[in-house]
Structure 1
Amino acid sequence: MPTAHEPSELPAALLADPEMIRACRTRDFATVFTLVRRRAGVYGSRIAALCGMTPSRVGEIMSGQRRLAHIDVIERVADGLRIPGAMLGLAHRPWEIPALASPAEPKPDSGSARASALTTTELDGVLHGATGANVSHSTVAALRSSIEDYWRRDDQHGGAALRPAVVGHLRYAQQLIDSGGGGLLRRSLTSLAAELARLAGWSYFDARQYSIARSYFSQALHLAEGIGDRQFIANVLSCMSLQATYEGDAREAATLAAAAQDTARDTEAPDLVMAMLHMREAFAHATLRDSHNCNRSISKAHQHFGHADPNAAPQWVRYFDETKLIVDTGIALAQLGEHRKAEPLIAEGLRRENHDQARGRAFHAFWLASTQLRNGSLDQSCATASVALDLATNVDSPRVVGHAREFHARLAVHAREAPVLALEAKMREAFG
């Protein structure tokens, strides 16, 4: 294993150096070992230990007296010195970019806790009973402020870490409703509970825990139906549509988006809501490679946006501004395969975006990198992906990590190129 003063892997600059690339491609290990010693400070005895060789053998290789030919020894060198497999004509090594594990779904209590201990739900109920169920305007205002803060934090840091807090607030709001509290404020309280349920579903969606997300989205639908809030019902359906797109069921995604439009149509000031819903439908049609319906949905999104009055729209949809319209149009076109049209739109959206929106910017930077790659700009694509990685390291969002790994998979055909090798080193640092 490396000592404290040795790098955990070779410097990215060395891996991307043309001399190192040529030496690896020709399996000239005399030059490889020499460069490792000079540029990374890993001396012959340490090379021997890392690669499972004797120091004398390493010395003979470095002096040109011996060559390595056996594949198992070459693999040991790749693994010991952390040289990406593609550089040596090998398959990707297991340590290079670890596979993304599916997040574990929470399991029921195994019964190992003390039988006398209160469950979280029971304890909440006891504390709630002790404090009473009085609901005032300040109660509603505090819940609304918390939700607004959660959405800001979701933009900045991702939704995965918000799950416990959001679910706790949802449980509290539901207890207030179930206890009969609220009186004239009951509708407002139910509306806030619906928003908390949607936010809980969104945070589990961002954590790629799709089955749990679906259950919270269903709860949000039930609450919104109880107060007849058609626009919010459409909002939840749009979240479910986006999740269906991620899960690979684009036909269901298109159906859900269309149902959301039918629900929101003819409501008060629906244009901004309809613009967002048509863009969700465009994503589904793009995934299906349905160019006609995708472009039709994009056109309708722009038409509704042109007539929208953001100040009259619900608070929860005001994030869908001109910048979001531009970048989402680019993403839909990229999904459709129209990369030349998509690239300038995504780039412009990324340029306009608020720097506090770290997760969105990370997503959009990976989308831009992908379109640049499809358009033949490998160097520019890797540079953009490097920016995306910088953003991703400050965000707790397994969805972002998933986008990073999907982009990395597209680089396989360029695995020996210097910018790819440097990017992979940065990915290992970020995710490994």
Structure 2
Amino acid sequence: MPEPQHQGLPPELLTSPEWQRACQQRDFASVFRLVKAKAGIYPSRVAALCGMTPSRVGEIMSGRRGLAHIDVIERVADGLRIPGAMLGLAHRPWEIPPPAATVQPARRRSVQRAATADSEDCDGAEPRQELDELLTLADGRVTRSTLLALRSSVEDYWRRDDEHGGASMRPAVVGHLRYVTQMMDSVPGPLRRDLQLLAAELARLAGWAHFDARQYSTARSHFTQALRLAHGQDDHLFMANVLSCLSLQATYDGQPSDAVALACKAQDAARAAGVQPLVMSMLHMREAFAHATLRDASSCHGAIERSRDAYEEARGREGEAPSWVRYFDETKLIVDTGIALAKLGESERAEPLIAEGLRRETRAQQRGRAFHAFWLATAQLQQGRLEDACDSAVLALDLSAALDSPRVAGHVREFHRCLAPYARETPVIAFEQRLREAVG
């Protein structure tokens, strides 16, 4: 059975000339390549959404096969949420909003109630309303209590992100962001500034959720919005925070040189805000990740040392740091150092650090523990300890069972590819069986 439909393609993809040209020409090889590159929808997901086999999608992407049957083209339009007009089709059913409920004359309505035992009046008779319309039913007044409630929601989102991943939160977070930015226009004075800072945090959260979903282009748009909002309030520390997120995303997106530049710019922004050693410790570690991806061992070790030094300076002063950086504690410093060393291939030094971090982490940090278990498996595999590596990978699979995080799924695929030379070994066969059970 096909997977549920996704929510839609990023607006920046739909409006790009390259996309519009591909759709106009019904060049589905380019269409599938673009949804992979710009929306993070990989061929296997395209196949599930469009009712095709992965091999057929692969043949289309490679140009060995085309699409001509109108029913298949309609399936692609519906599965990927491509507006019908872009492909020369009629409007698709999902593009047309449902009609508003009409008010029936009293006599006719009473007869209908008698025939249906009030069921239709109770279920679904109200017109569907978009999130913005529902939110505007409030009286629109913004008070300190409003801000406290919204901040509490943001804190809850971050907690859920730690426990379950950020991908499933995207619609709710973006809805909250839209609501807050609308309120900003009608609120004067200090409350407007507080709302703008709250909007910046929601934009960063929206960027993070899309980053966790591997939708890098949309994530970058939200991070850019967060950066602009923070810049408008001259909040250099928060700008450093957003730049650090962009640096991490660039590392994942295969742009480590950009990641180094963004991490260094984040450090400059933090310095402009005054002495904040815990923030600087986190930012130096971001830089270390980027250098490790470039396999620049000297620069990576230097950044790790600067991160440790800044963390020592921050000891006893954690309460002075912004709330958004307090996650970066001693455990996080230890495990991130191990990951940077594993990226460099220094697995013997990396393994005990990652194992110690994993031992210390709480159950609430579910996604982090899943990541770190896979990094532990990677470090063990680098040392040729196949059975230990597969055991750690099984632990990671168990931890990721309750997660909605395509980033974690990406680590699963990457580790599985690394096992290819050992496909006939018993530990690998057992791991692959667990993997099939997990994805099945």
The answer, yes or no, to whether TM exceeds 0.5 is: yes
Match of 1:202 in 2: 208
Query: Quick one: which amino acid aligns to residue 285 of structure 1?
Result: H
- Taking the aligned partners of 2:374 and 2:258, their CA distance within structure 1 comes to 25
Deviations 1:157-203 (CA, angstroms, capped at 9, x unpaired):
0000111111111111111102x225321111111110000000000
Report SS of the residue matched to 1:131: coil
CA contact 1:369–1:382 (8 Å) conserved in 2: yes
- Taking the aligned partners of 2:191 and 2:84, their CA distance within structure 1 comes to 36
Deviations 1:242-266 (CA, angstroms, capped at 9, x unpaired):
0100011100000000000011114
Alignment of 1:272 with 2:285, yes or no, is: no
Match of 1:313 in 2: 321
Match of 2:167 in 1: 160
Alignment of 1:352 with 2:360, yes or no, is: yes
CA contact 1:134–1:182 (8 Å) conserved in 2: no
CA contact 1:269–1:313 (8 Å) conserved in 2: no
Task: List runs of 5+ in structure 1 lacking aligned partners.
Answer: 1-93
Q: Cα 1:349–1:107, aligned 2, differ >3 Å: closer, same or farther? A: farther
Alignment of 1:176-215 (within 5 A): 176-178=183-185, 180-181=186-187, 183-215=189-221
Instruction: Report the count of equivalent residues.
Output: 330
Match of 1:386 in 2: 394
CA contact 1:333–1:341 (8 Å) conserved in 2: yes
Report SS of the residue matched to 2:402: coil
Alignment of 1:126-275 (within 5 A): 126-178=133-185, 180-181=186-187, 183-275=189-281
Pick one of 276, 280, 294 that aligns with 1:288: 294
Structure 2 length normalisation: TM-score? 0.71
Task: List runs of 5+ in structure 2 lacking aligned partners.
Answer: 1-52, 59-78, 86-90, 101-126
Pick one of 330, 340, 347 that aligns with 1:339: 347
Deviations 1:99-148 (CA, angstroms, capped at 9, x unpaired):
9xxxx987569754446869x9x945544555333110111101110010
Q: Cα 1:159–1:116, aligned 2, differ >3 Å: closer, same or farther? A: closer
CA contact 2:236–2:272 (8 Å) conserved in 1: no
- Taking the aligned partners of 1:127 and 1:160, their CA distance within structure 2 comes to 23
Higher relative contact order (CA 8 A, sep 6+): 1
Deviations 1:31-85 (CA, angstroms, capped at 9, x unpaired):
xxxxxxxxxxxxxxxxxxxxxxxxxxxxxxxxxxxxxxxxxxxxxxxxxxxxxxx
Deviations 1:340-368 (CA, angstroms, capped at 9, x unpaired):
11011000000111111110000000000
- Taking the aligned partners of 1:133 and 1:117, their CA distance within structure 2 comes to 28
- Taking the aligned partners of 1:129 and 1:361, their CA distance within structure 2 comes to 40
Query: Quick one: which amino acid aligns to residue 422 of structure 1?
Result: A
CA contact 2:281–2:308 (8 Å) conserved in 1: yes
Structure 1 length normalisation: TM-score? 0.73
Deviant stretches of 4+, over 3 Å: 104-118, 122-130
CA contact 1:133–1:176 (8 Å) conserved in 2: yes
Shift of 1:282: 0.3
Match of 1:7 in 2: none
Pick one of 334, 338, 350 that aligns with 1:330: 338
Shift of 1:310: 1.2
Match of 1:38 in 2: none
CA contact 1:182–1:189 (8 Å) conserved in 2: no
Query: Quick one: which amino acid aligns to residue 372 of structure 1?
Result: Q
CA contact 1:369–1:380 (8 Å) conserved in 2: yes
CA contact 1:271–1:307 (8 Å) conserved in 2: yes
- Taking the aligned partners of 1:334 and 1:345, their CA distance within structure 2 comes to 10
CA contact 2:132–2:175 (8 Å) conserved in 1: no
Match of 1:398 in 2: 406
RMSD (CA atoms): 2.3
Query: Quick one: which amino acid aligns to residue 423 of structure 2?
Result: A
